[in-house]
Amino acid sequence: MNQHAPPSIAPVSPRSIAELDLPATMLQDLLLKTMFRRSLTRVSEMAEAMHIPVPLTQELVDTARQLKLVEALGSLTSEGSEEMRFALADHGKARALDALTQSEYYGAVPVPLEHFAEQTKRQSIKNVTLTPETLGQSMEHLVLPKGLLQQLGPAVTSGRSVLLYGPPGNGKSSISNGIRDAMGDHVYVPHAISYGGQIITVFDPVVHTPVTPPAQTVSRLRRATTHDKRYVCCRRPAVITGGELELAMLDLVYNPVARTYAAPLQLKATGGIFIVDDLGRQAEPPQALINRWIVPMEAGYDILALQSGEKFVVPFDTLVIFSTNFHPNEIFDNAALRRVFFKLKIDGPTKEEFLKIFGLVAKAKKMPLDETSLIHLMSRKYPEVDHVYANFHANFLIDQMIAVCDYEGIPRQMTPDLIDRAWSNLYVDDAEIAH
């Protein structure tokens, strides 16, 4: 099985303000904005919201008090808490409002880009150890062409780009997801990163799945230290895009109302997989998309630009998987094909493989198999399409029969007539429609 990444990859919790490596003004503004937007009064609440240790938060509050931005309210409350409470002074409220006009971002203290780059190296996808057993287990629910896993394994463990191509409906997307599942370890994703005084949000609950960090080994002489809470421990991410992918999605996303940046898709996929599904169905030409990836895939870094036009370098540590129904020669030139390190053809199943898939799907959907109906399907229907089988056919045909049975109020069953009715929705007659 894949082993969990060792605890040493966990980013160490900062022990001083200096270790945050951020401008003092940015930290003070974050504190004031967070207190203002969240109506926080206790240092413990502020520390939780800003994802930094309580002693560091207390130090920020003490500095703010010295600057007359924050004032103490005392510790006596109706809840019985003895923790000192604080509130924004008039000058502090004014500064918070002024800071919010420049950026609405508040909450988690960002990680400097340089620190994020160092953490990316520690948890690089190229460090993942993937065994044939692990890859096989992640794909065991699929009926795959013989020898495919032997080709797929080296492609994944290299951390290089992969192109899966072949007829539609034969599991290219499922194989891509299986690759993601095979990487059973975790990475630490920052809530946000900082560059040039700008804050870029990275953690995205749509992309990132938080997990419980592994327990740390401690001795009697050394206390355990938790990881830096500015990061979230997550499964290795997988970003999946299809026909909706546009080149603009690979640039920083600037929100002019909130005046904040959001990381592009490939940056959110750092340490994981970026799957470009249905390549060739996008509005952008495939050649343009692959050209956008050439430098990142080969150099291991990407170049992004701020609204000001200033460009900067970010890590590119992502396994890019392209999946297409087109032949590669139809959508790429030779130069682009050379840049894609592994090219694997995914053909449709053989007759024997199709029958195996059909049986597995029927069992999963509790549809009784009927020998007469199967003979009818194989001898009467598939000759119409020159015995060309596809992995998705089994799911489609069985779901069609289930829909008819449920609608007509009869037990779920498989008959030649139901096979014919399901088949009629699988293919559309090529006859022209009179107008």
* Closest by Cα among 269, 272, 261, 276 to 312: 261
With contact defined as beta carbons under 8 Å apart, do 133 and 309 qualify? no
Write the pLDDT tens digit of every residue in 327-375: 888 888 887 788 788 888 888 888 998 999 999 999 999 999 999 999 9
pLDDT of res. 162: 87
Give the residue ranges of the chain where pLDDT is below 70: 1-8, 75-81, 169-170, 172-173, 215-225, 429-435
pLDDT of res. 148: 80
Write the pLDDT tens digit of every residue in 185-207: 889 999 999 999 999 999 999 99
How crowded is the C-beta side of 207, counted as CA atoms within 13 Å?
28
CA 204 to each of CA 5, 84, 210, 263, 342: distance values in angstroms, whole numbers, following the listed order: 22, 34, 10, 9, 29
pLDDT of res. 160: 78
pLDDT of res. 2: 45
Q: Can you tell me the distance from the alpha carbon of 371 to that of 415, in angstroms, rounded to the nearest whole number?
A: 9
CA–chain centroid gap for 199, Å, is 20
With contact defined as beta carbons under 8 Å apart, do 302 and 266 qualify? yes
Q: Can you tell me the distance from the alpha carbon of 107 to that of 309, in angstroms, rounded to the nearest whole number?
A: 27
With contact defined as beta carbons under 8 Å apart, do 202 and 191 qualify? yes
pLDDT of res. 348: 83
pLDDT of res. 3: 43
Antiparallel, parallel or unpaired: β 319-324 and 111-112:
unpaired
With contact defined as beta carbons under 8 Å apart, do 239 and 266 qualify? yes
pLDDT of res. 369: 95
